Amino acid sequence: MAERAFICGHPIEHSRSPLIHTHWLREFRIDGVYERRDVPPEAFADFVGALADEGYVGGNVTIPHKEHAYSLVQRRDDAAEAIGAVNTLWFDDGVLFGGNTDAYGFAANLDATEPAWTESGTATVLGAGGAARAVVHALLTRGLREIRIVNRTLSRARALADRFPGRTSHHGWEALPELLSDTGLLVNTTSLGMGDPTAAVLDLGPLPKSAIVADIVYVPLQTPLLKEAAQRGLRTVDGLGMLLHQAVPGFERWFGIRPEVTSALRDAVIADLQEKQ
């Protein structure tokens, strides 16, 4: 019988995860399926409770269920513990595990595109939502010296810095020009400019010429921030790689083979993004 995995969210029709996992299932000729499940918040606990009976080997969890999944699993990996959210579920000896592969995906994408990124020293992170938690965790575990969290709502930036005390600090948007002047790695995790290529962008003038600018938003792929950075001759990293790399550990757990993020996979997802934009 085919192995079954899923992505569960609400809404879920926009998710590219089925495209990614089906690409790998075909590549390795695995008799498996990866299904899209639209589950509203009030039905999520029952959905998770029925996974084993439904024959699932595991799956992904996305908005708005990542924190609820954290509270429902029996065991969690270190990343999920630190981030407070679960995006990957699997069974081990009948026990339901929850992991978080977003931090891994973020770091693996930078490893693949800018291998010296961990020597950036000081990072500035725009945004303090769920994705920013994964990014800050990745930056800390990969040894960045200092992490500044900048957010429109200062209280959320403070809460995120408090969650990871020590090398983090929190700031309002107005502090950016000064913060940028000694930033080695700038990461955007806000939905600012998402789907709106004409949206106003930051003035990246103060950034050192050696800085790397990464955006985790991938619709559009070339965000206004990345365009502005490229025009200034800065190195840029787009958000699609994070999405592709975060899928690797889940696929390996469910189907037993560690897949690779290839240019063929990337091209297939880009074609889909262009078709449905």
**Shortest distance, CB of residue 157 to ligand NAP, whole angstroms?**
8
127 interacts with ligand NAP by CB under 6 A? yes
Burial 244-266 (b: 16+ CB within 10 A, else e): bbbbbbbbebbbeeebebeeebb
The three-class DSSP label of residue 17 is helix
Pick one of 153, 181, 222, 274: the residue that binds ligand NAP (CB under 6 A): 153
**Shortest distance, CB of residue 102 to ligand NAP, whole angstroms?**
6
Verify whether residue 209 is a known catalytic residue: no
- Kind plus residue range of the DSSP H or E element containing 132: helix 130-141
| Beta bridge pairs of residue 188 | 126, 215
Task: Catalytic residue, from 66, 209, 227, 276: name it.
Answer: 66
Pick one of 60, 124, 190, 236: the residue that binds ligand NAP (CB under 6 A): 190
151 interacts with ligand NAP by CB under 6 A? yes
Stretch that binds ligand NAP, among 31-39, 44-52, 150-158, 227-235 (CB under 6 A): 150-158
Closest CA to 226 of 255, 257, 194, 248: 194
Closest CA to 232 of 260, 252, 216, 212: 212
DSSP E strands in 39-101: the ranges are 56-61, 75-76, 88-92, 95-99
Pick one of 26, 152, 258, 276: the residue that binds ligand NAP (CB under 6 A): 152
What is the C-alpha separation between 246 and 243, in angstroms, rounded?
5
What is the C-alpha separation between 234 and 200, in angstroms, rounded?
19
- Kind plus residue range of the DSSP H or E element containing 68: helix 66-72
**Shortest distance, CB of residue 199 to ligand NAP, whole angstroms?**
8
Pick one of 125, 186, 217, 269: the residue that binds ligand NAP (CB under 6 A): 217
Pick one of 130, 163, 221, 273: the residue that binds ligand NAP (CB under 6 A): 130
CB 109 within 8 A of CB 241: yes
Subset of residues 231 to 270 that bind ligand NAP, contact rule: CB under 6 A: 239, 242-243, 246
128 interacts with ligand NAP by CB under 6 A? yes
CB 135 within 8 A of CB 216: yes
Nearer to ligand NAP, 183 or 189 (CB): 189
Nearer to ligand NAP, 57 or 242 (CB): 242
**Shortest distance, CB of residue 239 to ligand NAP, whole angstroms?**
4
Nearer to ligand NAP, 96 or 103 (CB): 103
64 interacts with ligand NAP by CB under 6 A? no
CB 238 within 8 A of CB 215: yes
**Shortest distance, CB of residue 197 to ligand NAP, whole angstroms?**
14
Residue with tokens 């026990």: 95
Q: Which residues bind ligand NAP (CB under 6 A)?
A: 102, 105, 127-132, 151-153, 156, 189-192, 194, 216-218, 239, 242-243, 246
Report the catalytic residues: 66
